[in-house]
Structure 1
């Protein structure tokens, strides 16, 4: 029973760390594309939505995806997909994309907004940090409340 108080919070901490890694990786990718200094006109090839959640008391979350294709200055055709794009972009639209010369497949159609990206990433990282701190606090408190020889203390 005592292991339960260590295993569950440890799994939650690992999940929070993977989430933080994903947020930092996404932020670096978008920042690198904006800082690359290259732009091109891309055509929206496809637009679709995915849903998650729903059922019971949970709400449905819809994510809008776009598939874009553009040609780099070197003549290479690049196709990429981006989530959470604007709902006003439909198939056939031409949109500007930003990319770095060494990584055109990591392009983004999002307009540069470094402050917003920093705020969004910071809030998510703060939230994951609070979850991690709570889990560590819970494990320390559970350890303090358990006595190895007597079990749970009153």
Structure 2
């Protein structure tokens, strides 16, 4: 009887664990920029960046890279409007993945929840594309 009661009690708890929705957060009026990196350079979180997918964000505590990233590793970013990415095959994209840290000292004048899109291995072409992307202002997005 104790086993049956244990199972009956555990099932609702397991159900709750696996049916919880992931909480979303909304950020408005943020900056978005683009960056390139040397070949073979890993991200802050130890991954190899993926062109037009990897995003870098501020550290939790400005000036302290050991504090982790303001948005956790693996956070999915979905912009309200697609962004034009020079050199991206489809031209426009609205989904990115937090894998890196940038502007460690938070002294470049970016918004609190700014993100930086990886444009590829550093070269004249990728640097030109990142510069063409520039600094977007007023971008709104949701994270999951």
TM-score norm. by structure 2 comes to 0.30
> Relative contact order (alpha carbons < 8 A, sep ≥ 6): 1 or 2 greater?
2
Q: Which is strand-richer, 1 or 2?
A: 2
Larger radius of gyration: 1
